[in-house]
């Protein structure tokens, strides 16, 4: 059952690549939404750390599963795997920076300082990074569609 689940999640089915981009967009969208939603509370630091850890585990399992299903070739490694993994790592890095910074900001405003919560500044900060996240996801999808 675990192997069938991994085949469905990581886009590989019986040694053939399936173009299941809707599932990739759903998983990435849920990851982005959960990270940004949880970061609005002071407990978001702990929950976002767990989400970042689980995304790292997902990337590790995808790597293991990718190399066990396909035979190794240098072209596949340098032209297919490395750019895709770099894009995914950049996406995880940017989302983790946003979510942890927002959670830390909420924690310091709630418990440490006596500042007024400036939601306009935080919304502008989030919107700037959401644009960057959307650009990275678009590049990732374009790479998956046109290069792979």
Task: Report residue 22 as tokens.
Answer: 């809707």
Read off the pLDDT of residues 93-140 as tens digits, 9 standing for 90 and up.
888 888 888 888 888 877 888 777 777 877 787 788 888 888 988 888
Considering the domain boundaries, does residue 4 fall inside one?
A: no
Token duo for residue 143: 């790479």
User: Is 51 within a domain?
Assistant: yes
| CB burial string 14-35: b at 16+ within 10 A, e below | eeeeeeeeeebeeebeebbeeb
Structure tokens at 49: 């750390």
- Domain assignment present for residue 7? The answer is no
Looking at the structure of the chain, the number of domains it has is 1
Query: What's the Cα-to-Cα distance from 137 to each of 8, 118, 127, rounded to whole Å?
Result: 20, 29, 15
What is d(CA 74, CA 53) in angstroms, rounded to the nearest whole number? 29
The 10s digit of each residue's pLDDT in 73-90 is 777 777 777 888 888 888
At residue 107, the pLDDT reads 82
User: Is 115 contained in some domain?
Assistant: yes
Domain, as residue range, for 47: 21-147
pLDDT in tens, 10-68: 544 444 555 567 777 888 888 888 888 888 877 888 888 888 888 888 778 777 777 77
CA pair distance 97, 129, nearest whole angstrom = 10
Q: What pLDDT is attached to residue 13?
A: 44
Q: How many angstroms separate the CA atoms of 82 and 60, rounded? A: 13
3-state secondary structure of 12: strand
- Residue 9 belongs to some domain of the structure: no
Give the global pTM: 0.73
């Amino acid at each position: 059952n675990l192997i069938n689940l991994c085949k469905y999640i990581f886009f590989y089915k019986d040694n053939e690549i399936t173009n299941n981009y809707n599932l990739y967009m759903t998983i990435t969208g849920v990851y982005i939404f959960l990270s940004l939603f949880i970061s609005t509370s002071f407990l978001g630091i702990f929950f976002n750390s767990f989400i970042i850890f689980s995304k790292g585990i997902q990337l590790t399992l995808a790597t293991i599963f990718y190399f066990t299903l396909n035979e190794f070739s240098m072209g596949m490694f340098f032209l297919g795997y490395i750019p895709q993994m770099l894009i995914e790592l950049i996406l995880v890095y940017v989302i983790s920076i946003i979510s942890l910074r927002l959670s830390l900001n909420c924690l310091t405003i709630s418990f440490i300082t006596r500042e007024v919560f400036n939601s306009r500044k935080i919304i502008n900060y989030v919107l700037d990074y959401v644009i960057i996240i959307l650009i990275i996801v678009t590049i990732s999808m374009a790479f998956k569609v046109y290069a792979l």
